Structure 1
C-alpha cells in the first residue's frame, strides 16, 4: 500500500470511468476523498532513495527495470506479473509500477506520515501497514501505475494468480488466487487483514 498511490488512482478515475462504463470502482472513490498529499514531505526524497525501493512521485518503473523496487520482488510475483504483462500487451495495456518492494525504513516512514495525516494509528492502518505487516517489505505486493492496467488485472489477473486485495486500493495487487484462478473476496481495507 502506498499513500501516493491514492493520488495516482484519483487521477486515473476518469480513465476508470471510461473503462468501466459505470461509476467509480474499487478504491478510487476513497482515494478521491482521502485528501492524500501528492508528494512526500520536503526532505523525504533526500532521506529515501532507490535502495529503499523509493520511486519518485510522478514516476513509475517497468518490470524490466534494474531497480530494487523491482529486483527485490519475490520471484514468483515478478514472474506472474511478467506473464500477465505479456498477455495484457496483446490488448495494448502496459504494466508499470509506482511501488513494489520497499525497505522497512521506507515503510515505517510511510506509516508515520499516514498517522500524522489521519490522526490515529487505526485510521492510518486503513491505508498503510506497519513494516512487520507489509507485503511490500516482503516483496510480495505491487502498486500498479495506470488505470488500464488496474482494470485489466481486475478482469484477468486471477489467471496469473494476481488479485486486488483491498477494496479501497484499486492499484494494490498480490499473488492470492487459488489453483482455479479465483481471487479471494476483497478486504475492506488494510486494517481488515
Structure 2
C-alpha cells in the first residue's frame, strides 16, 4: 500500500511538473508577474522587440521617478494558452459574446502576436496608462487599464480607448 501511494505521489508530481513546464512555454506567468527584463521567460522573450524595449524603458522611468516596480503580469501567449483563457472566460461569463469583452480569440489576440503586455500592480498600470505614451505605449481598452500596446510614436498621442477587447 505504501509503495503504491509513493508511486501515485511521484506520478502526480511528474504530471504537475510537465504541466507547469508546458504552461511556461505557453507564456503562463504566476500571480505577481515577472520583471520586464526577464528575457529568459517566453512571455518576455517572444514579445515584439520594439514593444519589449519600450516597456523596459518605461519600467526604468517608473522606478527612477516614482519608485514604482512595474511587473509584466501577462505578455506573449501561445494560441493554445489564449484559447484556454477564452474557454475559461466563456464558462465564467456565460457566452462567447460576453467573454470576448475581456479575452480575445487566439486569431485576434495581440498577446499571441507579441504586441501586448499586461502591467501590474495597479500603481504601475496606472503609471503606464498616464505616462507610457512618452515611450509609445498606450492603454487600449477602457475596461483594462493594465493592457498596454505600442500604439503611437514616443511622445505621441494615444488613440481613443476601445470599450473592451470585443471592440
Q: Report the TM-score when normalising by structure 1.
A: 0.73
Aligned to 1:117: 92
Q: Alpha-carbon deviations, 1:24-45, whole Å to 9, x = none?
A: xxxxxxxxxxxxxxxxxxx8x9
- Tell me whether 1:87 sits opposite 2:71 in the alignment: no
> How many pairs were matched up?
148
Following superposition, the deviation at residue 92 of structure 1 comes to 0.5
Aligned to 2:37: 64
- Indicate which of 79, 84, 88 corresponds to 1:104: 79
- Tell me whether 1:151 sits opposite 2:126 in the alignment: yes
Following superposition, the deviation at residue 179 of structure 1 comes to 5.9
Task: For structure 1, list consecutive stretches of 5 or more residues without a partner in the other structure.
Answer: 1-42
- Tell me whether 1:133 sits opposite 2:108 in the alignment: yes
Distance across 2 between alignment mates of 1:154 and 1:130:
24
Following superposition, the deviation at residue 177 of structure 1 comes to 1.9
Aligned to 2:51: 77
- Indicate which of 15, 19, 23 corresponds to 1:46: 19
Q: Which has the higher contact order (CA 8 A, sep 6+)?
A: 1
Q: Equivalent residue of 1:115, what SS?
A: helix
Q: Report the TM-score when normalising by structure 2.
A: 0.83
Q: Please say which structure displays the higher CA radius of gyration.
A: 2
Distance across 1 between alignment mates of 2:122 and 2:44:
20
Task: For structure 2, list consecutive stretches of 5 or more residues without a partner in the other structure.
Answer: 1-15
Q: CA, structure 1 residues 86+180, in 2 after alignment: closer, same or farther (shift >3 Å)?
A: closer
